[in-house]
Every structure is written in C-alpha cells, then in structure tokens.
Structure 1
C-alpha cells in the first residue's frame, strides 16, 4: 500500500469515525490513541526531515498526502503534521541549540508552537505595519507586543513573535525580526481566547507582552530579516492549506453524492433532478481544476522556492471552491445539512476562515494582478518559456 493510500485509510477508518468523540473531548485521550496508532503504522510527521524523526517525504509528495489529511479537521493533529510550517521555519533559520530545544520535541509531537504576527490595531494583511517592538538590552531582547489570532498560544511551549527591531526609516521589509518567546516568560499574558465562528481546534488567542525579556540567542534568523522568515513560513503553508481544503471539498462532494443517490422526493431520487446533477458536475469540475492549480503551484515552488503568483492564485481560488462545494452539499441535504447530524455545517463555518487567514483573498488577487500588469510574461502558463 502506498503512503497516500495508507494515510487515506487511516483518516477514513480511524480518524473520521472518532470525530464526535474527539470533538467532545477536545482531542484528549482519543487524540492520544490516534497519535500512537499513526506512529505504530509509520505515518507520523511524514513531511518532516528523517533526521528529526519525521517521514522525510519530499515537498511534492507531502503536498499530495495533505489532500487526504485534510478530510478531517483532526487529521493534522493525529498525524503530527500540524507543526509543519513552524518546523520549516525552525529548520531553515534555527541555530543548533534552537533546533534541539524546540524543533526536535515539535516533530515528536511533545510540544506545540504558536506564532504572533497579527495585531488588532493594524491590518494583518500588511505585516509592514506591525507595531510590536523588541530592543536589545545587554544580552537580552526586551519585547513589547499586542497580538491576536495567535492560534494555540494558550497551550504552546513557545510563541515566535514578529516585532520591529530596526530604527525608524528603515525599509519596512527589513525592519522586523523573529524572536522566540517561551511560554511562562514573565510579562507574557494570555489576555483571552477570542470567540470566533466555527470550532477550529486551537484557541485563537489575544496576547500581550509587556517588557518581556528573552535571551539574545532567541533571535530566529538574522536581525531585520523577520519579513523573509515569515514568508518562508507562509508560502509553503498556503499550498498545504489548499490541499487540505481540497480534501474537505472532496469529502463534502462524497456526502452530496450519497444523499443524491438515496433521497427520494417529487417522483424520483434527487440524483435524477437536473439541478442536482448540475451541482454534482460543477463541483467535480471545480475540485479537479483547483487541484491542478495547487499541484502546479507545488511544482513551481519545488523548482524556485518561491512560486509567488502560482501560490497566490491557488490560495484564493481553492478557498472559493471549498466554500461552493460545501454549500452545494448542504443544499442537497436540505434541512439535514444545517444540523450537526452531518459534518457539513461545521465544515461550512470552518471554510469561511479560508478566505482570510494566510492573507485575505483580496490581497492575493491584488498582488497577482499588479505583477501581471507590470510584466505579462509572469503569467503562470508561460512558466518555462522565459528561461
């Protein structure tokens, strides 16, 4: 059995049947059992480097596996891939000591990370506006920050804070630094868990850091390179997200097919109605087209480590497809679709996040349009023609 098939079987046979129990326990013991099972089957942390205890899959192979992981919101936690973006960041920029302290236990699933990027006072879509500051004082950094949507901060072992470290007037793309702050450091306060629509696992926290002192060697990467560090974390993460969204869309599609085959109304099963057939056909086309967009973005990223246009296009397009397919599936289910008797109503609420986090759709569309207006040869379908 291939790795992809094994992951699909694990999600469908073990994770999906346990979802109600997982939701009721907020992970808890049911999640611990699933983690042990994944490790026993050799399915743990498949995209992490082998030297760190991961499966060592290539970027492209891990993208494909993510499609199946996304079928359940608990898939990432059960298979140890939820830390992938932070692991990429630490592996790329961390010192040997930082990797030993944070990266190794992260890959093992012993600790969880969080990242402080978004701030309530400024637009989260523009990191050059970040107001958090960190100043060197002796052999320490003194950090002052107000962040929110710092997902999972209440249970994280550390939070990577992006803060302004360079003098006023510095190029805004070279004014930020990334600093790792351990949980429990004096002055680090979890203000609240922000109530949000949906039930995405991992609290969305508002946090404050007031005169927080951390050792100078907690700087992640070079000083003033925080914007670059953030982009290295976010770029591949957008591809991972999009493939998981496709897994969700495929699951919603399967539920729609099952309902259309079995629900009888007005003289025939729903699947014989022209409008329902349109829902099915358009959903199949949307999913396949979106899938090819993401795979193309992953291939481009594999080649140049950037793929900015391909990733941006895939991000906003797949977010829309995710919403539309789940919406159609709910419509086919009728009243049942808006109840908690199927996963669709929760999937629908979760899907609304997709058009905002890791950059709102409007910003991705704007940046793609600007780059194409400046140089039409950047069109994704011309990739390779300009070499």
Structure 2
C-alpha cells in the first residue's frame, strides 16, 4: 500500500527549495542571458553558486558524493519544488541531461571515471551530455544507431553525426553511444564511451534553433571526425549501451515529469491570480463558468499527475525496473501538463502569449517535453506490447 505521508524533514526541505527558487532564481527569468538557446554557461555558473551558498546544490546525489540521496518518491516531492521555475533545476543541478547522466555514471562508471567525469558534474563545475540521437533515425529507436566505433586493440576511433545533443556547447563530460564494429578483441554492438568534450575529433557544428529554452546552451549538432579514444574510455561493457540507456531512462522520464509538474503548477498559480484580479463583463474572470471550469480541470490534472508520478516512484523504490510504469506516467503526464499550460495561456488571454509572465515560455517548453525521452506514441506502443504479452 502506498503511503502518501510526507515526513516533517522532507516537507521542510521541499519548502526550503521552493523558497530558494522563488527568492533567488525567479528574478533571473528576465535576465538577457536566458536566450533562445537556453541559459548561457555564465548564467548557469552564477545560479549554481547561489545554490551552493544555500547548501542545496545537487541535493539528489548519493550520500557518498555529499548529496542527500532521496528515494524516488522523495525526489518527486523535491523536484516538483525545484521546477517552480524552469531555471530552478539548472541552479540546483538537478536538470536534464546532467541529472540523468549523474545517475547513470554513479551506477556503471569505474572509480577512475567517477573521479574524472562524474565528481566535477556533481560539484557543478562542469556539464555533461548524452550523445545518442542522430538525424538519420537513432532517437526513439536507438537500434538505428549509425555512429560507428572501430577498435584496433588499443584505441577506439569514432565517426558519425549526432543532433539534438542537449548542452553540447561547452560540456566537458561526454557519454557517447556508438555501434562498435565487429572485432577480434571482444563483443560488438551498441556501446557507451566516456570522454572529455575538448578531445580532438568532437566538432560542434551548430546549435539548433528550437522552441524550448530551458536547457543550458540549447541543443547541438555534433560531428565525430576520427575521434580517437583509449581503451579506458569504454563505459561499462561493450555491446550493452541499450541496456544502460534503459537503466538511465526509466528514472529520467519520471524526473522530467516531476520538474514539469512544478512548472505547470506555477502556471496555474499565475492563471488563478489573473482570474481573481482581471474583470470582464462586470465580474472577475474566475466567476465566469468557462474560466472556472478551466481552473478546475487544471487542478484535477495536476493532482492526478502528481499521484501517477508518486505511484511509479513507489514502484521503483520497491526494487522494480519500472520501465512499463515510467512509460505510462511519461505518456500521461506529458500530455496532461501540456493541456494545463494551454489552459493557463487561454485564461491569461493576450498576456499569455507574451513574456509578461513565464506562462508563455512554460507552454512552449512543455510542448517540447512531450517529446523528451521518447514521444507519447512510442511509449503507448511499448505499453500496449507489454499488456498484450501479459497472461492476465
């Protein structure tokens, strides 16, 4: 049975995070360094230092790295508070892709890799990327991976092209997925590699113009041009990249949902205040049935999304892989929160499509969220396959 009780300690930390985001982070939402390609590295560094001073930086990290190591359910409470501003997770160092990459590296990186590539990310001193998606198809279907790694017994040489690589510009910790070519030295197939972003052979072709602007330095197009890496760059075991990606993706789908639940709740609070204060046809907007119904629909959706997230987190905390559960929650929550944001724009009217409030930005970013970590249709396909296989 799921216990929805929040401990006093967890509630206090949630409130502390919410207060930090409200008082320290929200003023940055109008900073010109929040560009169409997301916050600049300079802005990120400034925000991170505020969280460090507040003692809240990377609160989700394992205890052995100085974090608080919250359970998945506890993360749901805390990440929602962090997401009250789209810049909150950036400041607190619990934003994608770093949060998911930290989780993965803490599970499969060896000690030398941990010290060189993970610890600086946990400390907020550098950013990371997960380079998987390709313009030719590898994305929601990673089996279409075309980037190739050739191993000669000493070095790996990687060639290929990636795009929509979040935060590529300026990132130092790179996790690269490539198809290891058949060789006489061991297994082949989709494999993960770990290297420094300044290694010769990594070429940032450009930063893409996208509709979202909440990820540091946006989404890059990257070319690997004879990227030569030593044998020590292998992350985990050869041929196991797809399994490792699933290890990362199940909880990462949920943390996306948690953060965006916070942002949608912020949009709802702004819409409510507007509905109280703005009048039309002789009374406040909120007293008109059409507006009141939208507010009610939002409140219902927000609570149902919260409960769905907690349920999937409870499943993970019980030791399950949670792949099926996280797919259901990601498909449902991303669609419902987008509807919430859309209704908030409608309630605000013309102001809703402007930068007078953050609601327009939340709406635009929320549309992109429906595609993060797999579009709804891919998740529904996987859900249906699981249901059809289930003997029940």
TM-score (norm 2): 0.91
Q: Could you say what secondary structure the match of 1:110 adopts?
A: coil
Query: How far off its partner does 1:50 sit?
Result: 2.3
Between the aligned partners of 2:349 and 2:22, the Cα distance in structure 1 is: 25
Shift of 1:305: 4.0
State how 1:226-241 maps to structure 2 within 5 Å: 226-241=241-256
Give yes or no for the alignment of 1:51 onto 2:61. no
Give the deviation of 1:116 after TM superposition.
0.8
Cα deviation, residue 179, structure 1: 0.5
Aligned with 2:27: secondary structure? helix
| Residue 247 (str. 1) matches residue 262 (str. 2) | yes
With CA pairs under 8 Å and 6+ residues apart, which has the higher RCO, 1 or 2? 2
> Does residue 274 in structure 1 map to residue 284 in structure 2?
no
Structure 1 contact 166–224 (Cα < 8 Å) conserved: no
Instruction: Establish whether residue 17 from structure 1 lines up as the match of residue 27 from structure 2.
Output: yes
Asked if 1:340 is matched to 2:340, the reply is no
1:384 corresponds in structure 2 to: none
Contact 2:172 2:197 in 1 (8 A): yes
Equivalent of 1:108, from 103, 115, 123?
Answer: 123
Which of 31, 48, 61 aligns to 1:35? It is: 48
Per mean C-alpha deviation after superposition, the further-off stretch among 256-265 and 297-306 is: 297-306
User: Where do residues 96-245 of structure 1 align in structure 2 (5 Å cutoff)?
Assistant: 96-167=111-182, 175-202=189-216, 203-245=218-260
Question: Are 1:293 and 1:310, in contact at CA under 8 Å, matched by a contact in 2?
Answer: no
Contact 2:180 2:191 in 1 (8 A): yes
1:51 Cα deviation (Å)? 1.8
* Alpha-carbon distance, 1:315 to partner: 0.3
Structure 1: runs of 5+ lacking an equivalent: 378-387
SS at the partner of 1:154? coil
Write the deviation string for residues 1-45 of structure 1: whole angstroms up to 9, x where unpaired: 711110011111211123212645845666444423322322111
Between 308-317 and 194-203, report the one with greater CA deviation.
194-203
Change in 2 beyond 3 A, CA 1:135/1:32: closer
Distance 2:308 2:234 in 1: 36
User: Contact between 1:144 and 1:212, CA under 8 Å: does it hold in 2?
Assistant: yes
Deviation, structure 1 residue 181:
2.7
TM-score of the two chains, using structure 1 as the length reference: 0.92
Which is further off, 204-213 or 76-85? 76-85
Gaps of 5+ in 2: 1-10
- What is the alpha-carbon distance in structure 2 between the residues aligned to residue 23 and residue 259 of structure 1? 28
> Retained in 2: the 8 A contact 1:198–1:349?
yes
Distance 1:100 1:349, change over 3 A: same
| Aligned partner (choices 321, 327, 337) of residue 342 of structure 2 | 327
Aligned to 1:76: 89
1:43-68: CA deviations, max 9, x gaps? 11111012213233233212210001
Question: For 1:147-169, what per-residue CA distance to the aligned partner results, in whole angstroms no more than 9, with x for missing partners?
Answer: 1011111110032111111549x
Please say if 1:5 is aligned against 2:50.
Answer: no
Write out aligned runs for 1:284-323 (5 A): 284-323=299-338
Using the alignment, how far apart are the partners of 1:24 and 1:285 within structure 2?
32
Write the distance in 1 (CA, Å) between the matches of 2:191 and 2:41: 35
C-alpha RMSD of matched pairs (Å): 1.9
Structure 2 CA distance for aligned equivalents of residues 101 and 281 of structure 1 = 50
Answer with 216-225 or 74-83: which moved more: 74-83
Per-residue Cα deviation, 1:163-210 (whole angstroms, up to 9, x for no partner): 111549xxx9x8211011322222211111111123233321111112
Match of 1:385 in 2: none
Q: Does 1:89 align with 2:104?
A: yes
Between the aligned partners of 1:348 and 1:251, the Cα distance in structure 2 is 11
Q: Kindly tell me: are residues 145 and 9 of structure 1, through their superposed partners in 2, closer, same or farther at Cα, counting changes over 3 Å?
A: same
* Contact kept? 1:330, 1:337, Cα under 8 Å: yes
State the alpha-carbon separation in 2 of the partners of residues 251 and 48 from structure 1.
Answer: 25
Distance (whole Å) between structure 2 residues aligned to residue 57 and residue 312 of structure 1: 22
Q: Deviations over 1:228-286 (max 9, x none)?
A: 11111111110100011110110111011101111110111111111111101111111
Counterpart contact for 1:22–1:31, Cα < 8 Å: no
